[in-house]
Structure 1
Amino acid sequence: MIVLIGGEKGGTGKTTLATNLAQMRAARGHDVLLVDTDKQESASSWASLRAEEGIDPTITAVQKLGKNITRDLLDLAKRYDDLVIDAGGRDSFELRAALVATEQIFIPVQASQFDVWTLGNMAELVEQAQVLNPRLRAFVVLNRASPNPSVSEAKEAESLLDDFPALTFCGVTLRDRIAFRKASSAGQGVEELHPKDPKAIDEITQLYEIVFNEK
């Protein structure tokens, strides 16, 4: 399976989600490749730190940039069970090329009206890519929502997605939890972090099950 974590807006937690999904997939016995298409190389740096610290399972990561990305991704998909692609937060050649190769894109947005409004351009990119890649499905995941249950921003953001028929809310909301930042800075997935944060683990597990259709 090829899974793309991408979007036009930066700072929405794409690399955090991509690295956690890759770690969880590998921990469950799948041969997964983390593909970094962002010039900032955040996902590659996470995988390198993980290797330096000797954390098992090892996550193989490669960086792919330039005009041959679509071809390269389809070739790599023949050699791995799964590809998890981390795309930078902008409308880039890499993002557009990955959309042509991927089976599904998960677009993280922060649970605010401003972030959701930025989905208009992403919806257009998805619709354009679907002409060449009709199997492409696009989902939105609400990320870094307030952990305060009295804040209704997530529900408000979800209701605004009705304006974008090419995009579907995946049903998962991840809260702004320090465990995600601690795990990322240590080359870990949040389920590997000690002490454990059960709420963070539950949220990322919900996303994992949706992405890979597993229960």
Structure 2
Amino acid sequence: MILTVGNTKGGVGKTTLALNIAIARALSGRDVWLIDGDRQGTAQTAIALRAESGRQPAIACAQYADGTTLRTQVQHQGKKFEDIVIDAGGRDSTALRAALVLSDVLLVPFAPRSLDVWALADICALIDEARSVRDGLKAYAVLNSADPGGSDNADAAAAVADYPQLVYLDTPIRRRKAIANAAGQGLSVLEASPKDAKASDELHALLSKLF
């Protein structure tokens, strides 16, 4: 499967989520390729830290911020891997557009904030374009860095109904220090010590919906 974690809006935690998904799939025995489609290269930096520490399983990672290069490399090398996770977006880029056409699944993380919800219109426009080129792209939205409580999560989730291109997954990933701390070491929250059971359960719930 080729899965893109992407959004035209920055600051939604897509890199941390892509990293967690890729590592979780590798931990389950899948041969995974993580592609960093962002010029900042944050995902690649995290994987480099993981490699330096000798953490297993090792994760194959490459950075292709140019859409043509990303598309060409996936077409040439993609069959070597069981799962490809692409971290793309933060803006409307050629890498994001290429990823959408290549992908089986798009996961759009968004925070429970009005600006994040309004910005879904931009990624939905790109979804329409991608589907006009290649049928079959499944697109999901998930709350990331969700609030521990209050009504904002429910209000944001309800607003996704205004965007028929997206299916809302009721598997929010809440804002937790364990997730950020693990990512800063090139780890999934599933590998964090001490273990955060709630964060792990949330990630497993999301993975069960995606795969």
* TM-score band w.r.t. shorter chain: over 0.9
Aligned-residue RMSD, C-alpha: 1.0
Per-residue CA distance 1:114-165 (angstroms, 9 max, x = gap): 2111101111110110011111011101011111x3x111110111111111
1:69 Cα offset (Å): 2.2
User: Structure 1 length as normaliser, TM-score?
Assistant: 0.95
Q: The residue matched to 1:172 in structure 2 has which SS?
A: coil
Structure 2: gaps of 5 or more residues: none
Q: Tell me which residue corresponds to 2:129.
A: 128
Q: The residue matched to 2:79 in structure 1 has which SS?
A: coil
Partners of 1:13 and 1:154 in 2: how far apart? Answer: 16
Q: Tell me which residue corresponds to 1:195.
A: 194
Q: Tell me which residue corresponds to 1:98.
A: 99
Q: Which amino acid aligns with 1:143?
A: N
1:75 Cα offset (Å): 2.8
Q: Tell me which residue corresponds to 2:37.
A: 37
| 2:62 aligned with 1:62 | yes
Q: Tell me which residue corresponds to 2:15.
A: 15
Q: Tell me which residue corresponds to 2:209.
A: 210
| 2:5 aligned with 1:5 | yes
Partners of 1:74 and 1:110 in 2: how far apart? Answer: 32
User: Contact between 1:73 and 1:98, CA under 8 Å: does it hold in 2?
Assistant: no
Q: Tell me which residue corresponds to 1:84.
A: 85
Q: Tell me which residue corresponds to 1:108.
A: 109
Structure 1: gaps of 5 or more residues: none
Q: The residue matched to 1:142 in structure 2 has which SS?
A: strand
Q: Tell me which residue corresponds to 1:182.
A: 181
Partners of 1:188 and 1:98 in 2: how far apart? Answer: 24
Partners of 2:19 and 2:65 in 1: how far apart? Answer: 18
> How many residues matched?
210
Partners of 2:103 and 2:75 in 1: how far apart? Answer: 8
Q: Which amino acid aligns with 2:30?
A: H
1:167 Cα offset (Å): 0.9
1:68 Cα offset (Å): 3.3
1:72 Cα offset (Å): 2.2
Per-residue CA distance 1:87-134 (angstroms, 9 max, x = gap): 131000110111110001000000122211110111111011001111
Partners of 1:25 and 1:170 in 2: how far apart? Answer: 19
Structure 1 residues 67-76 or 11-20, which shifts more? 67-76
Partners of 2:105 and 2:69 in 1: how far apart? Answer: 20
